[in-house]
Amino acid sequence: MIYPRIIGTGSCLPERILTNEVLARDLDTSDDWIRERTGIRRRHLVADDQTTVDLAEGAARNALAAAGVEASTLDLIVVGTATPDRIYPSTACRLQARIGAMGCTAFDVQAVCTGFIYALGVAEKFVRAKSAKRVLVVGADTHSRLLDWSDRSTCVLFGDGAGAVVLEASSTPGVLSTHLHADGSGESLLYVEGGTPHGKVAIEGPPDAKAPAGKARTMMKGKEVFRFAVRALGRIVEETLSANGIDQSRIDWLIPHQANIRIIEATTRQLGISMDKVIVTVGEHGNTSAASVPLALDTAVRDGRIEPGQMLLLEAFGGGFTWGSALVRY
Ligand code: UT7
């Protein structure tokens, strides 16, 4: 049996930090409200001249260095992102040129906050099918570019960042299974206007939009998304455990999507998983979309909480709706 094994992790956060207190200076919100309702204390934001590929490159270089391998030895690059620098070429192709991995397969997957898990699932299949031996999987987003900074119900939630792993084909267990789902009927609850009908980038915001004309912005019905997320994440964890014939006592670390501490707590309560076994970075990063799970993974690998041989359960939920999970022997 061939498994994709994680041989290196990396991440990248932009330098600029925006705290709740600073946000509350210009917005009808407060540090107390944001912390109590979401668990978020601060988030990192890109500089004006930084884009998604800059963060992806930082995370990729850190993951390659941790793995001790050269970019030129990669067979495949998969980037999960909903905020590509351009309509095309893909972020993966731009990243490939930056790190010098020319010739290998490279493409993006778009599953919003589930982007990294989807990318990992695709990479897993390439390795199992013997189509790739060494793969770079990245989750990178600059969601701050999709925010209406006058909409307190969305702009306080998101941050920018990137996380990456290098996978290598191995006979020793690594990624044991991935589980990917979508329900396209949830579109009206979470979406960003914008597309290329008639050859023009078109953004048709609602008439009451306070954001400047043509500005792409995240539209979300938070309460409904919250409810759907808790149900979907509970189900995906159960599906993953049952597919592998194990129960939650075998999980050393749950690495959930970092959207809201209350979603994480509701999911773990429902599943009977202790919060001591959960990696939580939402306080420092906010919701970094596709970057959230690999950023949390890299944080806990680097601070020594995650050790070789441990069993990890990664899960995420995002626009689409999409949701997914991965069971990983680290
Ligand atoms: O990555 C996946 C996608 N996103 C998510 O997973 C997000 C899921 N949803 C959530 O995390 C939560 O629903 C939110 C954090 C977005 C909102 O929390 P909530 O507890 O569901 O609050 P709510 O939307 O019911 O709003 C409660 C009140 C409202 O005021 P009224 O109508 O009760 O007077 C809001 O206007 O809180 C108000 N409010 C705020 N107040 C201060 C909403 N945003 C803010 C804010 N500061 N930033």
Task: Delimit the domains of the chain by residue range.
Answer: 3-172, 177-187+220-329
Q: What architecture (CATH level 2) is domain 3-172?
A: 3-Layer(aba) Sandwich (3.40)
Instruction: Give the per-residue pLDDT at 215.
Output: 77
CATH number of 177-187+220-329: 3.40.47.10
Q: Which residues line ligand 1 (CB under 6 A)?
A: 29, 33-34, 37-38, 113, 152-153, 156, 190, 222-223, 225-226, 229, 259-260, 263, 287, 317-318
- For residue 155, give the DSSP letter: H
The closest-lying atom of ligand 1 relative to the alpha carbon of residue 292 is: 1
Question: Annotated active-site positions, please?
Answer: 113, 257, 287
Assign 3-state DSSP to the chain and report helix, strand, coil percentages, each to 5: 40, 25, 35
155/161 Cα distance (integer angstroms): 16
pLDDT digits (tens, 9 = 90+) for 85-108: 999 999 999 999 999 999 999 999
Q: For 194, left (φ over 0), alpha (ψ -120 to 50), or beta?
A: left
Instruction: Give the per-residue pLDDT at 216.
Output: 84
* Distance between Cα 154 and ligand 1 center (Å): 8
In this structure, the residue with its CA closest to atom 3 of ligand 1 is 318
Categorize the per-residue pLDDT at 195 as very low, low, confident or very high, splitting at 50, 70 and 90: confident
* Distance between Cα 109 and ligand 1 center (Å): 29
* Distance between Cα 223 and ligand 1 center (Å): 7
Whether residue 208 has pLDDT greater than 60: no
pLDDT digits (tens, 9 = 90+) for 214-271: 778 899 999 999 999 999 999 999 999 999 999 999 999 999 999 999 999 999 998 8
Among 36, 37, 147, 233, residue to substitute to test ligand 1 (most atoms within 8 Å of Cβ):
37
Instruction: Give the per-residue pLDDT at 211.
Output: 59
Cβ–Cβ < 8 Å for 158, 289: yes
Categorize the per-residue pLDDT at 210 as very low, low, confident or very high, splitting at 50, 70 and 90: low
Categorize the per-residue pLDDT at 203 as very low, low, confident or very high, splitting at 50, 70 and 90: low
Parallel/antiparallel/unpaired status of strands 42-45 and 16-19: antiparallel
DSSP element (H, E) containing 22: helix 20-26
Whether residue 82 has pLDDT greater than 80: yes
The closest-lying atom of ligand 1 relative to the alpha carbon of residue 153 is: 44
Categorize the per-residue pLDDT at 213 as very low, low, confident or very high, splitting at 50, 70 and 90: low
The closest-lying atom of ligand 1 relative to the alpha carbon of residue 152 is: 48
Instruction: Give the per-residue pLDDT at 212.
Output: 63
Same fold flag, 3-172 and 177-187+220-329:
yes
Whether residue 194 has pLDDT greater than 90: no
Name the pTM for this structure: 0.96
Q: How far is CA 133 from CA 3, 77, 119, 161, 220, in A?
A: 10, 11, 15, 27, 39
**Lowest mean per-residue pLDDT among 13-27, 151-165, 175-189, 198-212:** 198-212
pLDDT digits (tens, 9 = 90+) for 281-324: 999 999 999 999 999 999 999 999 999 999 999 999 999 999 99
* Distance between Cα 155 and ligand 1 center (Å): 11
